[in-house]
Structure 1
Amino acid sequence: MYATVNGSGGTAAAKPAARTATVAKGTVLATVSGTGTLVSPTDAAQDFTTGGRLTAVKVAVGDAVRKGQVLATVDTTAAQQQVDAAQAALTTANANLTKAQAGVTTTTTEPLPGATTAPQGGSGGGRGAGGSSTPAPQTTTVTTTKVDDAAVAQAQQQVATAQTALSNAQAALAGTTLTASVDGTVASISAKVGDTVGATSSGTSTSAKSTGTSAASSSPGGFIVLTNPTGMQVTANFSELDSLKLKKGEAATVTLNAQSDTKLNATVLSVSSLPSSSGSGAAGSSAVQYAATLQLTGDTSTLRTGLSATVQVVTGEADNALSLPTSALSGTGSSRTATVVHEGGATERVDVGVGVEGDTTVQVVSGLKEGDKVELPTTSGNNGFPNGSFPGFGGGSGGRGGNGGAVGIPGGAGGGGGGRGGKG
């Protein structure tokens, strides 16, 4: 397109033809995007429950292991000594209990019931013979056993305490051998034979679920970390506005940043109710974001924890719907206006009801019909002036440009355009 500059400073520009879009049927998708990383909810840190000096590491990074497989061992000397001492203490406690339950036995001599003193022989006036006889027994021996209930209870408590101590010592001895808590692949080993390793109360920990404190669940840290790409998930941050559009079960597409041609399907599992770390907003201000967790579908066996990804979630969809470019409508909300271009060039302003709003197109629910042509807004040309034309400026008779010859864009035909000595 050209702007013609005449001698009197006027400009004549061709009026651009109206740009239009045709209302047609199609699919309108409303999406929101976020960024995050891949996580495996079954990643697990493997730690000893009894610390000590490493005596053996039986796996290497990259090895596939099965649940229950021995991974490493630490020195058992101290733990075995504790078991031996606890066993001896239990033996003593059982002996004391047996003794307490047996009680104390005493022997006493007691008179027989109804016993009387036997008659004594001697002189007298009796008629019969005065001979003596052997006296009948007058006493008996009584054996009594007394059990001290308090002593028995105390002995029973000592046995229970000793049994608990033995169980704890045996568990500590078992804790010197580290076994895999889950199937997986060895992702990392943080110590070597001869190093001293610590212990944890449980021996294992797994990847934390997204709690809204960060976009990505932190990977577990431990002496050995096992990873399992089965059931891989994505945690991603979304702007506060976009997060309000997310719902459980919505479909999503995940694109790996390292492999832009790799597209993975996913569904929204949950959206945190707490804000995650704020992102960077305009002019250095903070932008509130919320984390969402998505479940990847399909084969994830070749994926790795920590891969960064871009997530696009479909928050609305209208199939076989009337649609047109969003730019063809004016206004906001569910009611908009558009300029319909009729045959012959006549235009008409109409109200338009809209449904699903996509990134570049919008669903039309009322006001327009299929095949209607709607005027699009005029855009500026590459030269930066409206309609691609240049403002007019005065010509002159000076220089080699003669009498204000035409200036063409591009090309500059017309003899150099007003030389130095030109007269305004």
Structure 2
Amino acid sequence: MKVLPRRRGAVLVNSALGVALLGGAVLVYTTLDSGTSVAAGKAQVRTATVAKGTVLATVSGTGTLASPTDAAQDFLTGGKLTAVKVAVGDTVTKGEVLATVDTTAAQQQVDAAQSALTAAKANLTKAKAGVTTTTTSQIPGSSSGSSGSNGSAESGGSRSGGATAAATTPVPQTTTVTTTKVDDAAVAQAQQQVDTATTTLTNAQTALAGTTLTASVDGTVASVANKTGDTVSGSGGSSTSSTGAKTTGTTTTSSSAPSGFIVLTNPTGMQVTASFSELDSLKLKKGEAATVTLNAQSDTKLNATVLSVSSLPTSGSSGAVQYGATLQITSDTSKLRTGLSATVSVVTGEADNALSLPTAALSGTGTSRTATVVAEDGTTSRVSVTVGVEGDTTVQVTEGLKEGDKVELTTTTTGGSGNGFPAGNFPGTTGQGGAAIPGGTGGGAAGAGRTGGR
């Protein structure tokens, strides 16, 4: 195709401009690349100064608040509720009557047990008295007689014609013997019956008392499960802390709220049971100070101390092994509620007025580390450093450095690939292929783009 003279001239001008622009860009790239390569070779040294301060080492866990005096109140003896004397929100004192159930059946059991005990005691008395027998026997070789006048009568000193002998009748001599025989086996059996009847009566009396539910602790009524006329079950003789009440308080191994017919809560002595990772749990010790932050009120900080650390593991939500610890809150707990979630930070190590450095300023692990000290003239030297408490971001220096020493931190270099351009790309490129001619279509070999116009 034949090119018109005017068009041919335009093509030549555009081509010349493109070559000039490309050459200028290459010159700028070369100059910048050369300059930044030199800059890249120079490390930007950052330093930290050894200073005195407080180094804190902490571990964190999560848990919920609970009071050891929170208690579920349940009847020992079930039955039909005849009265519920409290409502949610009421404040009660230990020993106060909370509710009652019908006593008819329980009273009948007491009466029957009392009658059985009375009969058993009577049998015991009889057994101890034994069986009495009376026997009469003749005394061997013994006899006796009776006679009339066995002598003589004289009148005027003369015998009246002879003696008259009285006739004698022998009478055997006897003795009466009374014996009492006690059957030891019968006494033992009777005593056992008394003991059994006594136990039965005691249980019946306890069951009768258990128809009245009283508060085992001071507190506020948090919930009431039933109303008058409902039938409630009893605990059937579980251990109690007060008449008629079975108490289920929160423990150091469980943070769940108690549940029962009536639940009493009391913020006094509030605690927090938290879970810690197995590594952090090894750093926990009784008496360590802690800070408790309520998740619902992040601006509320409570002081606490570690009461105990469980030696039994639990599985966290992610399946990781965790260990529980119970902490006693020492701040005001009057406005706290059972079940509030919290984050716990325990101070496992502390060094006050200690020489300290950022952890990043030292190399190595354990108590022996190394540091690069930067002198005033810029020269550096490596020194051995002994550390004490290793805090969350700083570490205590016990030997090897003094206050005011400057220690080199991590070394950084200017970014990118060292060519002075972001991502190492030539200005105007797409990151693939070659450079695009200004005004061209983009990627491809240099000079592949065409200028517009006709």
Q: What is the distance in 2 between the residues matched to 1:47 and 1:395?
A: 80
Shift of 1:187: 2.5
The gaps in structure 1 that reach 5 residues or longer are 121-125, 281-285, 399-403, 405-415
Letter in 2 for 1:322: L
Find out whether 1:390 has 2:422 as its counterpart. Answer: yes
Find out whether 1:173 has 2:208 as its counterpart. Answer: yes
Per mean C-alpha deviation after superposition, the further-off stretch among 227-236 and 198-207 is 198-207
Q: What is the distance in 2 between the residues matched to 1:27 and 1:386?
A: 41
8 Å CA contact 1:353–1:366 kept in 2: the answer is yes
Equivalent residue for 2:192, pick from 157, 173, 176: 157
In the alignment, what sits opposite 1:67? 94
In the alignment, what sits opposite 1:198? 234
TM-score (norm 2): 0.74
TM-score (norm 1): 0.78
Q: What is the distance in 2 between the residues matched to 1:224 and 1:39?
A: 17
What are the superposed Cα offsets for residues 133-170 of structure 1, whole Å, 9 maximum, x if unpaired? 9x797677947363433444443333333222222211
Q: Percent identity?
A: 70
Find out whether 1:37 has 2:75 as its counterpart. Answer: no
- Relative to total residues, which structure has the larger helix share, 1 or 2? 2
Equivalent residue for 2:279, pick from 213, 237, 241: 241
Q: What is the distance in 2 between the residues matched to 1:9 and 1:118?
A: 169
Q: Secondary structure at the match of 1:7?
A: helix
Per mean C-alpha deviation after superposition, the further-off stretch among 216-225 and 317-326 is 216-225
The 3 A distance-change label for structure 1 pair 92 and 306 is: same
Q: Secondary structure at the match of 1:32?
A: strand
Q: What is the distance in 1 between the residues matched to 2:419 and 2:224?
A: 66
The 3 A distance-change label for structure 1 pair 288 and 385 is: farther
In the alignment, what sits opposite 2:115? 88
8 Å CA contact 1:42–1:206 kept in 2: the answer is no
Letter in 2 for 1:244: L
Q: Secondary structure at the match of 2:201?
A: helix
Shift of 1:389: 5.9
Q: What is the distance in 2 between the residues matched to 1:61 and 1:345?
A: 74
Find out whether 1:189 has 2:221 as its counterpart. Answer: no
Per mean C-alpha deviation after superposition, the further-off stretch among 69-78 and 271-280 is 271-280
Shift of 1:197: 1.9
In the alignment, what sits opposite 1:78? 105
Q: Secondary structure at the match of 1:186?
A: strand
Shift of 1:38: 1.3
Find out whether 1:19 has 2:46 as its counterpart. Answer: yes
What are the superposed Cα offsets for residues 222-255 of structure 1, whole Å, 9 maximum, x if unpaired? 3222222222211111111111111221111111
Equivalent residue for 1:58, pick from 75, 81, 85: 85
Q: What is the distance in 1 between the residues matched to 2:81 and 2:420?
A: 77
What are the superposed Cα offsets for residues 4-57 of structure 1, whole Å, 9 maximum, x if unpaired? 975363323356853332221111111111111112222222222222222222
The gaps in structure 2 that reach 5 residues or longer are 1-23, 149-160, 241-245, 430-434, 448-454
Q: Secondary structure at the match of 1:268?
A: strand
Letter in 1 for 2:83: A
Per mean C-alpha deviation after superposition, the further-off stretch among 261-270 and 86-95 is 86-95
Equivalent residue for 2:143, pick from 115, 131, 151: 115
Shift of 1:257: 0.7
Equivalent residue for 1:322, pick from 334, 355, 358: 355
Letter in 2 for 1:261: D
Q: What is the distance in 2 between the residues matched to 1:386 and 1:363?
A: 38
Q: How does 1:190-269 map to 2 (within 5 A)?
A: 190-193=225-228, 194-200=230-236, 201-203=238-240, 204-211=246-253, 216-269=254-307
Q: What is the distance in 1 between the residues matched to 2:250 and 2:419?
A: 57
The 3 A distance-change label for structure 1 pair 100 and 386 is: farther
8 Å CA contact 1:379–1:387 kept in 2: the answer is no
- Structure having the higher Rg: 2
Q: What is the distance in 2 between the residues matched to 1:5 and 1:340?
A: 44
Q: Secondary structure at the match of 2:440?
A: coil
The 3 A distance-change label for structure 1 pair 111 and 321 is: closer
